[in-house]
Structure 1
Amino acid sequence: MTNPTNSTPTRVRILLCDDHAVVRAGLLALLGSAPDIEVIGEAGSGEEAIAMTRKLRPDVVLMDLQLGPGIDGVETTRRLVADRAPGATAPHVLVLTTYDTDADITRAIEAGATGYLLKAEGPEELFAAIHAAAGGRTALSGPVAGRVMAQLRSPAPALTARERDILGQLSQGLPNREIARALFISEATVKTHLRRIYDKLGVDTRAGAVAAANTRRLLG
């Protein structure tokens, strides 16, 4: 980000969101070494990140996906992107995580994340991704970019959120009655969703559906 009046670099204001205090401390120390990045707050949960974002208005929220009890990083991202004050711009969300499954990447991008970075990346890659995100540009780790391209070339069947829920329950070996109870729906509704899942995955058995989902990385 630059100042349009004199082209002097301005600091990118960052809010950290990670449920591990040690991770936040490490990021704080690392980002403190970058003269053009300023950490203005730390959140240990999604709910805290939302509250702090409303108050501090960071340029970028550095978001972990797994946040312990409460809403996860994907839902937090979705709410942050949607929760913009009148006349204000929603912050850009840069996911920083160890998880790189197709399901996680797809959910984060669909929720509105500007970028998706893996924690295995080096400091310079992180700094560059933060500046890219602050400018509204997409920032993806190499492996993540590869997965995104693979999905574009051979897209996975488009399952609804409810179908993914049922598929997740199915992968645990639960019968229809237990799935219905867990998701607060009727057994008839479970059967209807299962037929649609089978059609989309090109299978005709429960085991086949789980195997296809694992092969296509539809389960997180």
Structure 2
Amino acid sequence: MIRVVAMVEGSRLQVAGFRMLLRQVSSNISVLAVVRRFDELGHAIDGRAPDIAVLDVRTLDPALIQAVRRLRESAPSVKIMLVVDIIDSAGAREVMRLGVSGLFSSDADPHGLLRGLQAVSAGDVVISSTASGPLFREPTGPIPALTAHELRILRLVAKGLRNDEIARQLAISPSTLKRNLKPILSKLDATDRASALFAAAKAGLL
């Protein structure tokens, strides 16, 4: 069971609609609370121990970024997934730097959101194809020397695929994939998927 607390900033869904959407998509999602404002989010999380905080917002504006920063400090074990109407490059890079585990455009279909929730709950980082454009635009750092095989793996990671799914696509074993991931993280000076994707974004690799 994936335990979710959500904040809906008056975007395309009403609060009741958001709760209903998640329940209709999967019976494996428990919606613990749905709030309207950033200042209600911390109270909703306190005492409920959710797995994921889903923030459905209009833009990656300073208020959102500050809310993400506060949430990372106050509840570091809670993963954060953003569903955003308008995604800009600077905002996307900043929220990924802060440790957001999921970034989706608001036009994502419900089953795509469910897949994202499942992947984030499993510890992966997921960026939807629509959101990846702004994130991986305008390189701002040096370009690491990745091989073609390493780039392919990195691009599959950016799609939010699990290790077993990537291994199947590449026709290699999961243990081989893990060995292949180590030099990628090393070359990107990253410790995990989130920091690897952020470094790749800065370098314009994807």
- Is TM > 0.5 for Structure 1 vs Structure 2? yes
Alpha-carbon contact 1:80-1:90 (below 8 Å) kept: no
Correspondent of 1:155 among 140, 145, 151: 140
Amino acid in the other structure paired with 2:20: A
TM-score for the superposition, normalised by structure 1: 0.57
Other structure's SS at 1:136 match: coil
1:14-93 superposed matches below 5 A: 14-20=4-10, 22-33=13-24, 34-66=26-58, 72-84=63-75, 90-93=77-80
CA-to-aligned-CA distance 1:13-62 (integer Å, 9 cap, x gap) = 11110132853222211111111111110111111101111221110000
Q: Deviation per CA, 1:57-82, whole angstroms, max 9, x where unpaired?
A: 11000013459xxx822211111111
Structure 1 residue aligned with 2:3? 13
> How do residues 1-220 of structure 1 correspond to structure 2 at under 5 angstroms?
11-20=1-10, 22-33=13-24, 34-66=26-58, 72-84=63-75, 90-151=77-138, 154-155=139-140
Q: Could you say which structure has the greater relative contact order, defined with CA pairs below 8 angstroms and 6 or more residues apart?
A: 2
Shift in CA distance, 19/144, structure 1 to aligned 2, threshold 3 Å: closer
Tell me how far 1:97 sits from its aligned partner: 1.0
Structure 1 runs not aligned, ≥5 long: 1-10, 157-220
Read off the aligned partner of 1:30 and give its amino acid letter: L
Say if 2:4 and 2:32, in contact at 8 Å, map to a contact too. yes
**1:74 aligns to what SS in structure 2?**
helix
Look up the equivalent residue of 1:82 and give its one-letter code: E
The CA distance in 2 between the partners of 1:35 and 1:150, in whole Å, is: 37
Inter-partner Cα distance in structure 1 for 2:79 and 2:40: 17
Pair member with larger Rg = 1
Q: Distance between the aligned counterparts of 1:23 and 1:93, measured in 2?
A: 20
Count of residue correspondences: 137
CA distance in 2, matches of 1:19, 1:150: 26
| Contact map agreement 2:104 2:130 (CA 8 A) in 1 | no
Is residue 75–residue 111 contact of structure 1 (8 Å, CA) maintained in 2?
Answer: no
Give 3-state SS (helix, strand or coil) of 1:41's partner: strand
Counterpart of 2:127, as a letter, is L
Aligned Cα root-mean-square deviation (Å) = 2.1
SS at 2:42 equivalent: helix
AA matched with 1:48 = E
| Matching residue's letter, 2:117 | I
Conservation of the 8 A alpha-carbon contact between 1:66 and 1:72 = no
**Alpha carbons of structure 1 residues 42 and 63: separation in structure 2 relative to 1, 3 Å:** same
Q: Specify whether residues 108 and 64 from structure 1 end up closer, same or farther in structure 2 by C-alpha distance, changes over 3 A only.
A: farther
Letter in 2 for 1:16: A
1:64–1:73 CA contact under 8 A, matched in 2: no
Identity %: 17
Residue aligned with 2:46, SS: helix
The alpha carbon displacement at 1:150 in A equals: 3.1
